[in-house]
Chain A
Amino acid sequence: MKGKPLVSIISAGLSKFGKLEGLYGREIFAEAAKEAFDRCPNLDPKKDIQALFVGHMGESYEHQGHTGATLADWAGLLHIPATRTETACASSGAALRAGIFAVLSGLYDVVMVGGVEKMTNRTTPEVTEFLAMASDFPFEQWHGITFPGLYALMATAHMHEYGTTEEQLAMVAVKNHHNGYLNPKAHMQKEITLEKALSSRMIAWPLKLYDCSLITDGASCLIITKPELAKKYTDTPVHIIGSGQASDSIGIYERESFTSLIAAKIAAKQAYEMAGVTPKDIDVAEVHDCFTIAEIIAYEDLGFCKTGEGGRLIESGETTLEGNLPVNTSGGLKAKGHPVGATGTAQAYEIYLQLTGQADKRQVKDARIGLTHNVGGSGATAAVHIFRRE
């Protein structure tokens, strides 16, 4: 079982990420679907794709729920079964798992998974409120705790416990903005300096504007199949060799630790064991940097460094494009953007590009094994996937 492909990705698509004015979620998803179809000429979408699973966080943004069927229609896939998965910001990480289960069950040969979120039509206070719905209502939201506020609580604790600094947090932003600058589909395609990040306006102390991911519109998708059928569609499939998911209390206040996400640790352990690899084997990773502190905690939870040393790891430069373990080569949620429902499969899209040598200016040389780490809310859900090239 170890390292054996569970399913294989034969194609992937990503819309432009950004403030896509005038575009509705379903229209954005159609753009991602079109790229995936064009990328795989041997695939006949109407004939071959048998089911769709899509991540979508909230009805509030567009006053639109029932996303599965809507997206199947707009991607030209009527009348296949289409189901929405919701695990907050990990919704499409969960959609990917649902797709894996669907193929592994033997019921389907080819399945599309993906996600979408349209957010920029709303004001920042509205988005703040909608995002907070993924946290505990009666004790967190009710007492004025926002989403950045929850991660700020983790940041304060991490700084207190391990001496992590605001500069180290800002370094995550600088790195990811640099990577986003190299990614034509990223929302933010501009470099920032450490000074600019540190002097940006306060959101939830110690987190400033540049510590926070962006409010972004976007969609992503993957087309997956049984490993033995992959070569029928492409010469360069990417195999998914590990998949883990775990849950935790919705309120962070009930957790033992505020400096790590237990769900992410459990999901990572499952994925590593299934894949038969260790953190040292990972060549490139996309982690859930919804806030800069989240990337630092992710380094620790994923075993890229020891507990408490995430701040020193970003400082070492090892996770830049030139380092030994480039993290968030796409620009991450920080600079590529975080259309919440689309993020999980957008991370997988980047790993797909990296492992098939299509990541252009941000290509990691000889990348063979990749990882995605997708977190829902403040860590009540986490999904980790491990990928290997042919």
Chain B
Amino acid sequence: MSEEAPFTIEQFYKYVEQGKLMGGRCKKCGTIYLPPRPLCTKCFSKDFEWVEISPKGKLLTYTIIHVAPVQFQSMAPYAVGIVQLENGLKIPGMIRDVEHEKIEIGMELQVGFEKPSATASQWPQWPRYYFKPV
């Protein structure tokens, strides 16, 4: 099934729902995309395969959001950051399960997976991944 799954953001989040961080590897030049893309922007190949990405990494930068958009207001203040995973790729996300004062650049974090919301009725119905201490 995973071989045929389209290399889309929609599919990336379907894997998140299954508790997996998956990227798309270009079969021609080997570049891994996280999130996956349908077209390799290095060699223009469309030939990809799914690869599971190690969910461990280091925090590159972060902030604490105090003024949040409407849909996140109940969570504020919350921490978000950009994590560089073990394979070198970077993704942004919320940092949870750690006191804000203890967050620091360089700290080790790993990806956690939220249960998909059963109540979402509008597009998009993506579950969220997040970062937590190792």
Give residues in A with beta carbon < 8 Å to B: 124-126, 128-129, 132, 138-146, 148-149, 152-157, 160, 201-207, 251-254, 258
Pair A204/B63 contact, Cβ less than 8 Å: yes
Pair B105/A143 contact, Cβ less than 8 Å: no
Which B residues touch A139, using CB under 8 A? 35, 91-93
16 additional contacts (CB under 8 A) given A129-B70, A157-B61, A204-B63: A125-B69, A126-B70, A138-B13, A139-B91, A143-B92, A143-B93, A144-B69, A144-B78, A146-B65, A146-B69, A149-B63, A153-B81, A160-B61, A160-B105, A204-B67, A207-B63
CB distance from B13 to the nearest CB of A (A): 8
Query: In the complex, what residue of chain B is closest to A150 when comparing beta carbons?
Result: B63
Cα separation A155 to B66 with both chains bound (whole Å): 16
Pair B68/A125 contact, Cβ less than 8 Å: yes
CB distance from B24 to the nearest CB of A (A): 14
Cα separation A154 to B92 with both chains bound (whole Å): 13
Interface residues of B in 109-129 (CB under 8 A from A): 124, 126, 128
Which B residues touch A251, using CB under 8 A? 92
Pair A149/B65 contact, Cβ less than 8 Å: yes
Pair A144/B70 contact, Cβ less than 8 Å: no
CB distance from B18 to the nearest CB of A (A): 18
Judge whether B60 is part of the interface by a CB distance below 8 angstroms: yes
Pair A152/B69 contact, Cβ less than 8 Å: no
Where chain A touches its partner, the secondary structure class is: helix
Cα separation A205 to B60 with both chains bound (whole Å): 15
Q: Find A145's partner among B35, B65, B77 (CB 8 Å cutoff).
A: B65
Judge whether B90 is part of the interface by a CB distance below 8 angstroms: yes
Pair A142/B66 contact, Cβ less than 8 Å: no
Pair A148/B67 contact, Cβ less than 8 Å: yes
Which B residues touch A204, using CB under 8 A? 63-67
Which B residues touch A206, using CB under 8 A? 63
17 contacts between A and B (CB under 8 A): A125-B70, A128-B70, A138-B13, A142-B124, A142-B128, A145-B80, A146-B68, A149-B63, A152-B65, A157-B60, A160-B105, A202-B66, A204-B63, A205-B64, A252-B82, A252-B92, A253-B91
Pair A156/B66 contact, Cβ less than 8 Å: no
CB distance from A124 to the nearest CB of B (A): 7
Q: Find B60's partner among A126, A143, A146, A258 (CB 8 Å cutoff).
A: A258
CB distance from B9 to the nearest CB of A (A): 5
Cα separation A203 to B68 with both chains bound (whole Å): 9
Query: In the complex, what residue of chain A is closest to B12 when comparing beta carbons?
Result: A138
Pair A128/B66 contact, Cβ less than 8 Å: no
Pair A153/B66 contact, Cβ less than 8 Å: no
Q: Mark B84-97, 1 if CB is under 8 A from A, else 0.
A: 00000011111000
Which A residues touch B93, using CB under 8 A? 139, 143
Which A residues touch B44, using CB under 8 A? none
Cα separation A140 to B94 with both chains bound (whole Å): 10
Cα separation A149 to B130 with both chains bound (whole Å): 16
CB distance from B67 to the nearest CB of A (A): 5
Which A residues touch B13, using CB under 8 A? 138
Which B residues touch A154, using CB under 8 A? 61
Cα separation A207 to B71 with both chains bound (whole Å): 21
- Take A139-B35, A253-B92, A258-B82 as given contacts and tell me if A144 and B72 are in contact as well, using a CB distance cutoff of 8 Å: yes
- Take A139-B91, A143-B92 as given contacts and tell me if A156 and B63 are in contact as well, using a CB distance cutoff of 8 Å: yes
Which B residues touch A153, using CB under 8 A? 61-63, 80-82, 92
Pair A205/B94 contact, Cβ less than 8 Å: no
Judge whether B73 is part of the interface by a CB distance below 8 angstroms: yes
Cα separation A85 to B67 with both chains bound (whole Å): 29
Which B residues touch A125, using CB under 8 A? 67-70, 73
Cα separation A203 to B63 with both chains bound (whole Å): 10
Pair B35/A144 contact, Cβ less than 8 Å: no
CB distance from B60 to the nearest CB of A (A): 7
Cα separation A251 to B65 with both chains bound (whole Å): 18
Judge whether B75 is part of the interface by a CB distance below 8 angstroms: yes
Cα separation A153 to B73 with both chains bound (whole Å): 19
Query: In the complex, what residue of chain A is closest to B66 when comparing beta carbons?
Result: A202
CB distance from A126 to the nearest CB of B (A): 7
Which B residues touch A145, using CB under 8 A? 65, 80, 92
Q: Find B126's partner among A142, A148, A207, A254 (CB 8 Å cutoff).
A: A142
CB distance from B55 to the nearest CB of A (A): 15
Pair A144/B68 contact, Cβ less than 8 Å: yes
Q: Which 9 pairs show the lowest CB-CB distances between chains A and B?
A: A152-B63, A157-B61, A205-B64, A129-B69, A144-B72, A253-B92, A202-B66, A125-B70, A156-B61
